[in-house]
Amino acid sequence: MNEATFTFRVDEGLKEQFTTAAKGRDRTGAQLLRDFMRDYVRQQQEATEHDAWFRRQVQAGLDSANAGKLIPATEVEAKFAAKREATRRRLEASAE
């Protein structure tokens, strides 16, 4: 692994607090900063992947709707009304 130096400016008080907090976890500031950087990169990759997935889902829905593959609202409402009623019955039965 090639290593590079990352230099930036930070308030002296913050640096001291960070160093103290790192020592309290038996870590160096550099170790924690590398961990934070890895976590940030991972979070950004996950967000990018989720965004791509979401866009594919939306496009699939649009394509389906444009092809006329739609479910009437009354059918959807009836289906979920039945599910709500079944849940109510289960809750009432478990409360007895």
The CA angle 51-55-52, to the nearest 5 degrees, is 40
Q: Per-residue pLDDT for the chain (96 aa), expressed as one digit of tens each?
A: 789 999 999 999 999 999 999 999 999 999 999 999 999 999 999 999 999 999 999 999 999 999 999 999 999 999 999 999 999 999 999 988
pLDDT of residue 24: 96
Distance of CA 71 to the CA centre of its chain: 30
What is d(CA 67, CA 61) in angstroms, rounded to the nearest whole number?
10
pTM beyond 0.85: the answer is no
Q: What is the C-alpha to C-alpha distance for residues 91 and 7, in angstroms, rounded to an integer?
A: 59
Report the pLDDT value the prediction gives residue 95, as an integer from 0 to 100.
87
The predicted pLDDT at position 1 comes to 74
Domain boundaries, the chain: 12-95
